[in-house]
Structure 1
Amino acid sequence: MSKREIEIRTDDGVAKAGLFRGAGGGSGVILYMDAFGPRPALDGMAEQLAGEGYIVLVPDLFYRNAPYGPFDAKTAFSDETTKNQLMALISGTSQEMTVRDTGAFLAALEAEGINGPVGAVGYCMGGGRAINAAAAYPDRIVATASFHGGNLASDAPDSPHRSAAKLQARVYIGVAGVDRSFPPEQSAKLAEALRTAEVDHVIENYVGMAHGWAVPDHGAYDGKGAERHWKRLKTFFAETLSDTL
């Protein structure tokens, strides 16, 4: 297993990213971070995917505001100062920015020899970005997954459910059992949008899990729930990316 720190030139600057590669070549996967930024916990998750034969890119979506943090995922939102810093980073990095950046992320994978179909997975705020990115690059991203993604079907003009008609990728949505950032009415709205657009999708409710359950340094982390998420994600990518392995 190897990790390289790389720099990706975008329209707005230079984004740092981790590139994880296991033994041999493989398909590319972009891991869209949660709100706490690139850190050892996400590195470990990228290594798990790389161990399955993928080349995994973990870009810093907040690079426009670097340096920032680091943040403690267990306490950052309970402290008023760090909460305000995080909310400023999230609101200052729009969906449109991440969609544009994804073109540069795909180019970075191409520079590593990954010219075929790519997978995407996002956690928390990264979930919606993974979906919108797949809608914006339907010829490249063939599988996209969201785990405890928030505001996937909100009233916002850039809400991911509004991109459903542009999706050609298969979609997997893993939902926390109770999550204020993605309540049942949003889940129903997302399901309707995906069905109407005839998108091949699954929305799965992880009963008993709280927002953040799949990320190991999060206060809501649940080992059994995380393992279930890994089984689903690895199977999902194996089914959709296997032709390129």
Structure 2
Amino acid sequence: MGRAAGATPTRSSLVVLLFAAAVASAAEADVRVVLPSAGPSSSRHPCLDNPPDMTATGAEAGHVVEDYYGLDAYLTGSHGASRAVILASDYYGFQAPKLRKIADQVAAVGYFVVVPDLLRGDPYKDGISFSEWLKRHSPDDAAKMVMELIAALRKAGKTVDVGGYCWGAKVAVDLAKTGKIQAVVISHPALVTVDDIKEVKCPIEVLGGEYDTISPPKLIHQFESALEQEGTDHLVKIFPRAAHGFACRYNSSDPFAVKIAVEARLDMISWFDKHLKH
């Protein structure tokens, strides 16, 4: 362990509960939580800054398979690999070119990588109400969608770990509570609470940014303290001068941003290499 740096709730009510829990954890860590605007979105919200250019396609090494264990998915790498990685997207979904590029780069070092469409064909699009859209996409529900895929990969003899970005970090943490994955890496997490972190049952790497206002350094260190108290194998790293989205929605024309994104990817792969069984 260590640091490198009565009624069943509706989906809408689950999202409300998630935000309430996030606020509670932030209060415990003495930080401010940035919540989505009730009106039309704007790039002012950190989770929506620097949206991906969906036209930048054509360079993918993998391919999309429909209904892959219940979800459309981008697959890359050798199906015969004994090590599998699932990448959970942010609000912009599994089609984001930079996310697919990350998947290809992870696959290039020997992993079979799956990027499932956890938003079921409904990624966030600028100009609509973020909060209304979010009500349709509970990360808890998304984590349940992935269980069939995880079971299939394990049945095929593969070890499985998960990387999650922003919203997908909450999905990854929920999966880390199940005892079914080998290791997890979360980058610039959103909606993740201290209580969530306490329930993690596998080695976890947390990558945060100095300028991230969604999960600021104080909250990231609160996660670290919880992991230490629980005795969970972990690594926590905060990238200097990095804002929310640094790992998968970086500005390609900014050399510093590219450097941070590359470092975050290599850190993730190193964590996978350390903890996945060969």
Give the TM bin, normalised by the shorter chain: 0.7 to 0.9
The residue number in structure 2 matching 1:240 is: 275
Map Cα deviations across residues 176-196 of structure 1 (whole Å, 9 max, x no partner): 111111124422331222111
**Structure 1 residues 87-133: Cα deviation after superposition (integer angstroms, max 9, x where no partner):** 4333322232122112122134357x3x3421100111111221121
Structure 1 unmatched ranges of 5 or more: 154-160
TM-score, scaled relative to structure 2: 0.69
Give the one of 146, 151, 176 matched to 2:186: 146
Higher RCO, Cα 8 Å, sep 6+: 2
Q: Is the radius of gyration larger for structure 1 or structure 2?
A: 2
Tell whether the 8 Å contact from 1:164 to 1:197 is kept in structure 2 after alignment: no
- Distance of 2:196 and 2:233 partners within structure 1: 14
Range with bigger deviation, 26-35 or 190-199: 190-199
* Correspondence 1:119 to 2:175: no
How many residues were matched structurally? 215
Q: Of residues 131, 134, 140 in structure 2, which corresponds to 1:96? A: 140
2:74 is the alignment partner of 1:18: yes
Aligned residues: percent identity? 23
Please name the residue that 1:61 is paired with: 118
Number of the residue aligned with 1:42: 99
What SS class does the counterpart of residue 142 from structure 1 fall into? Answer: coil
**Is 1:169 the equivalent of 2:202?**
yes
SS in 1 for 2:137: coil
CA separation of 1:196/1:91 partners in 2, compared to 1, >3 Å: closer, same or farther? farther
Aligned equivalent of 1:3, options 41, 48, 63: 63
| Larger strand proportion of the pair | 1
Q: Secondary structure at the match of 2:262?
A: helix
Q: What stretches of structure 2 of length at least 5 have no aligned partner?
A: 1-60
**1:29–1:121 Cα contact (<8 Å) kept:** yes
Q: In 2, distance between residues paired with 1:230 and 1:179?
A: 18
